[in-house]
Structure 1
Amino acid sequence: MSQDDFQALYERLREGAWGGARGALDAITPERIRAAAAEVRSGRTVSLAAPVETEPGPDNPQPAGHRLTSPPEDQAASHGLHFATDHFGMNVHGDADSHLDALCHVVYDGTLYGGVPAATVTPAGATVLSVEIASEGIVGRGVLLDIPRLRGVPWLEPGDHVTYDDLVAAESAQQVRVGEGDLLFVRVGHRRRRIETGPWEAAATRAGLHPTAMNFLAERRVAVLGSDSNNDTAPSSTDGVAFPVHVLGIHALGIHLLDYLQFEDLVPVCEEEDRWSFLCVVAPLRLPAATGSPVNPIAIL
């Protein structure tokens, strides 16, 4: 995709954006949340997050750090009351751990979503558009579109794209339709490939959405986009723009992105229940001024 074609797509999507101060989350109205609650039938719950990793790997050179801070060995063996405590820290926007991207995460041509100046992101944190926008949680109707299932393969190979036509065909094959205010989850099989073949340098090569697939999200007025990959393909399909889906999704449309989720637990449940929509609850940490958060989305069927 040429830079000119990308810029034309970016301008068109931005002009048609439907969100306000909270971005596309404005499409999740109380009425839609109540309707999403009706998706609960069996009461089964499934995590869409991968376990946090503390060991380095080719796709995780800066793994999360976790250490026990107490009790010391001699204290643990002694009588009386003691507490086990620990310390945790992580690089939120890595290529292994599940996380949410806030609207302040993407700077493009000197601005954030809605034309907010990039200078509002300071060394002390983001003064606007931070993850605090989602502090009350994101609750709505989730829809999983399984592209490897559609194509009859275990996963999409790194570098492959999910197209607009793939999303429409997956809807038809799964007998589900993505609607306004939905949380759209797109499976490319990244996690299954990682489990079966081992981790690789995902920053350099991975499957994801083609930029033109964002037309689908704009037409349906999707509130959130999540994937078991980074959402963006690598290498990028767009000249001069390394993360076109992030630019189009976050910066142009105001859509919060969820990167590196896992759907290997959800797929068999959807198959058993013969449905691909569910109530979904996303609860990012309350991290004032942060550009993102680790997250554990829960699907409730």
Structure 2
Amino acid sequence: MMKRWKNRPEGSNWGEFGDDDQLGRLNLITPNKVLEAIKEVKVGKVFSLSLPLDMPGGSVLNPARHPPKLTATTRTDGKQVYLHSFKDDHNTTDVACDDMVTMSLQYSTQWDALSHIGSHFDADGDGTAEKIFYNGYKPQEHFSHPAHTPDGSSHAHRLGIEHMAQHGVQGRAVMIDLRRHFGDVRKLVGGKEIQKIIEIDGIDIRPGDMVCLHTGFTDVVMSMGGKPDADRLAASCSVLDGFDPALRQWVTQSGLSALIADNYAVEHRPYDFQGDGCHALLPLHELCLFKLGIHLGELWYLSDLAQWLQKNNRHAFMLTAPPLYLPGAVGSPLNPIATV
């Protein structure tokens, strides 16, 4: 097939996993990485790393994302299948409940697909920057906008979350415990701080590892009981400084396959940033999703696992974290499982 781009963004890896690649650095999670992960299982203890999917509650973190709503399914005759007796229909003893959910796929514990964030970049070399996504996939060819579909649906025909699901997400993961070093105060963490923690804690990060960042943010969220306080959250816990060149260099050179945090967005989101037309609002998202093909995990619950790892003088574990197999979605909730 003809290559979709003439120019690739500086510092990107477009084409290095193939011109039609839709997995990005997940390609580094090979069968050997799975075998590495199995070697990290010593006691067989399992941790769920998901929040309840109705948390954080409300829409404070993102006004476009709303809590899930469970409702009963409805038959063609209008009857709701919830505590529904089949005695009248079939003279049986059965009583059934059947439901459905309406939710924002990135409301709670989630993966970002590579179709989640693109950029304006002159990939075709015509002198004009156009909308473009990882490995040169284009909105007009590879995405269906709801304004242009008969039923108002959206669909990422390339870079959807289904590729992550098909590949499977199971491998070696490591924990970087920012909370243990910086507490629960708001702190921007750059590359120097990350590398210092890695050195102090003796963390061994290998190419293809999934990296988890424990900040304690989801503990703060859970303490609010579904009614998050925006000001308190904005002042709580460590967050990566995506504007720091040393941090972006570390992400690029570390060889990590996925970057995961227990906070919102992984990186600091400057809500007062008005933009200058030259820089991304979320530079770490741009680097990971647009340039390097690194999936981002957000709002995971990591505290129990982090405490156990610290108590047992460990940092590595096996992580099993597939998204929902939902073709065309740009993100997905999940219930990640750590095995130690």
Smaller-chain TM-score range?
Answer: 0.7 to 0.9
Looking at structure 1, the residues matched to 176 and 305 of structure 2 have their Cα atoms a distance apart, in angstroms, of 11
Matched, 1:226 2:260: yes
Question: Closer, same or farther in 2 for the Cα pair 1:19/1:163, shift >3 Å?
Answer: farther
Looking at structure 2, the residues matched to 48 and 210 of structure 1 have their Cα atoms a distance apart, in angstroms, of 24
User: Could you say what the CA RMSD is over the residues aligned between the two structures, in angstroms?
Assistant: 2.7
Matched, 1:276 2:307: no
Identity of aligned residues (%): 24
1:8-67, Cα deviation, whole Å (9 max, x unpaired): xx9443159854411001111111211111110010111111111175253365111113
Looking at structure 1, the residues matched to 211 and 16 of structure 2 have their Cα atoms a distance apart, in angstroms, of 16
Corresponding position of 1:75 = 85
Tell me, yes or no, if the aligned pair for 1:47 and 1:265 is still in contact at 8 Å: no
Tell me, yes or no, if the aligned pair for 1:285 and 1:295 is still in contact at 8 Å: yes
Matched, 1:258 2:297: yes
Looking at structure 2, the residues matched to 290 and 185 of structure 1 have their Cα atoms a distance apart, in angstroms, of 23
Question: Closer, same or farther in 2 for the Cα pair 1:71/1:117, shift >3 Å?
Answer: closer
Corresponding position of 2:101 = 88
* Residue type at the aligned position of 1:259: E
Looking at structure 1, the residues matched to 98 and 325 of structure 2 have their Cα atoms a distance apart, in angstroms, of 21
Matched, 1:46 2:53: no
Tell me, yes or no, if the aligned pair for 2:177 and 2:214 is still in contact at 8 Å: yes
Matched, 1:122 2:144: yes
Q: Structure 1: which 5+ runs fail to align?
A: 1-9
- SS of match in other structure, 1:14: coil
Stretch deviating more after TM superposition (180-189 or 75-84): 75-84
Matched, 1:133 2:183: no
Looking at structure 2, the residues matched to 216 and 16 of structure 1 have their Cα atoms a distance apart, in angstroms, of 18
Matches within 5 A, 1:99-118: 99-109=110-120, 110-118=131-139
Corresponding position of 2:333 = 294
1:119-151, Cα deviation, whole Å (9 max, x unpaired): 212124011111111123211111110112123
* Residue type at the aligned position of 1:67: T
Normalised TM-score (structure 2): 0.76
Tell me, yes or no, if the aligned pair for 1:19 and 1:253 is still in contact at 8 Å: no
Aligned-pair distance for 1:175? Answer: 2.1
Tell me, yes or no, if the aligned pair for 1:98 and 1:296 is still in contact at 8 Å: yes
Matched, 1:65 2:63: no
Matched, 1:194 2:221: yes
The structure 1 segments of at least 4 consecutive aligned residues displaced by more than 3 Å after TM superposition are: 15-20, 68-79, 195-198, 204-207, 236-240
1:248-298, Cα deviation, whole Å (9 max, x unpaired): 111011001111111122122212322011000111111011111111111
Stretch deviating more after TM superposition (260-269 or 33-42): 260-269
Matched, 1:216 2:243: no
Larger radius of gyration between Structure 1 and Structure 2: 2
Aligned-pair distance for 1:104? Answer: 0.9
Looking at structure 2, the residues matched to 275 and 101 of structure 1 have their Cα atoms a distance apart, in angstroms, of 28
Looking at structure 2, the residues matched to 86 and 216 of structure 1 have their Cα atoms a distance apart, in angstroms, of 45
- SS of match in other structure, 2:328: coil
Count of paired positions: 285
Normalised TM-score (structure 1): 0.85
Aligned-pair distance for 1:208? Answer: 2.4
Looking at structure 2, the residues matched to 107 and 232 of structure 1 have their Cα atoms a distance apart, in angstroms, of 17
Looking at structure 2, the residues matched to 16 and 286 of structure 1 have their Cα atoms a distance apart, in angstroms, of 25
Q: Structure 2: which 5+ runs fail to align?
A: 1-7, 74-79, 121-130, 146-153
